[in-house]
Structure 1
Amino acid sequence: MQLNKCLILLATCATTAFSVAVPDAAAADECSNLGGVMSMEAHKLPEGVSLSDLRKCVEHPHGRERFLDEASLAPFEEGDAPSDEKKNSTDIEAGGLEERAADACYTAAPYGCSRGYCWKTCGDNGKWCWTAYKAGLGSWIKCSTYNDCGTTTYACGIGGVSGGCGC
């Protein structure tokens, strides 16, 4: 009898450890333009993150576009502002494609809120990322102003083109 209980417990643990979130047809349709449905094997998840914590779609709804002209931007704390030495040609106001490049690698704020979602700087020369809960695998962090966002408690979103640190 003890052996049966141990085998059942072992089988249950093995099934849970190697399970994968299986997307349904509605989620697949909804995420078809957002990099597909987010999925990961349970044993590969970071500590404190479960399959039920994964966001539905891989990509951020805004991709790599922050819409800085409409954004709520956090001020730099004293001593945190980027030096002129770190600025490059994409930091200079220009028109057309150069202006979009300047928006992509923006160095004038440590974090902000753009069209309802939080982002933060995460590298040199204006690199940035959208922020997400649950070690970057959870839902994208929503906001009304930069006060709803931050740099230290939120992780860069993981997955797809819009995940991670870049310009």
Structure 2
Amino acid sequence: MQLSASFILILASLTTITLGATLSDLAVPRTADSSNDDDCATLGGPMPKSNLPDGVITNDVRKCVGHPLGKGVDAQACWTASPYGCSSDGYCWKVCGNNGEWCWTAANKGQGAWLRCSTYTDCHATDSCGGTCSC
């Protein structure tokens, strides 16, 4: 059985469109920075763009220093039950100290957008802290 080149091209393009739509529907964005410049007044001020750690991508540094939920939303005390998790508001956190101290996690070596999640499996113990490690 021989297929024409045009038939194969049409079939290939339809497969790409179908797979592309399916994969994009499944994608869960791990980062979000919906803050604007006015928000930074209540979120610790603007994030510094100079003297960044090695390997940080300057264009991907988040706008504000502080996390939009602050500290203590879900874990109001030191946490030792699991090494990381997903808050009910959809942000990743991890334990970062020996006594259950924890932090919100962020992309770009901790300098970028706060990592988002829909379940704890979206978060990882290897994610970088985006701020202080405390209770």
Give TM-score, length-normalised by structure 2: 0.68
SS in 2 for 1:126: coil
Choose between structure 1 and 2 for higher RCO, CA contacts under 8 A separated by at least 6 residues.
2
* Partner secondary structure for residue 121 of structure 2: helix
Letter in 2 for 1:138: G
| Separation in structure 2 between the aligned mates of residue 131 and residue 151 of structure 1, nearest angstrom | 9
Map 1:57-76 → 2, pairs under 5 A: 57-68=64-75
Percent identical: 56
CA shift for structure 1 position 47: 2.4
Find the counterpart in structure 2 of residue 30 from structure 1. Answer: 39
Is contact 1:55-1:137 (8 Å) kept?
Answer: yes
CA contact (8 A) 1:27 1:37 kept: no
Note the alpha carbon deviations across 1:1-51, whole angstroms, 9 max, x for none.
Answer: xxxxxxxxxxxxxxxxxxxxxxxxx9431211111111231xx22222132
Distance (whole Å) between structure 2 residues aligned to residue 65 and residue 109 of structure 1: 16
1:131 aligns with 2:116: no
Mapped pair 1:147 → 2:121: yes
Equivalent residue number for residue 57 of structure 2: 50
Q: Please, what is the CA RMSD of the aligned residues?
A: 1.7
Unaligned runs of 5+ in 1: 1-25, 69-102, 158-162
Instruction: Tell me the equivalent position of 1:94.
Output: none
**TM-superposition CA deviations, 1:67-100 (whole Å, max 9, x none):** 25xxxxxxxxxxxxxxxxxxxxxxxxxxxxxxxx
Name the structure 2 match of 1:39. Answer: 48
Normalized against structure 1, the TM-score is what? 0.56
Structure 2 counterpart SS, 1:130? strand
Q: Which residue does the alignment assign to 1:112?
A: 85
State how far apart, in whole Å, the 2-side matches of 1:150 and 1:50 are: 21
Give the Cα–Cα distance (whole angstroms) in 2 for the partners of residues 50 and 123 of structure 1: 26
1:166 aligns with 2:134: yes
C-alpha displacement at 1:55, in angstroms? 0.4
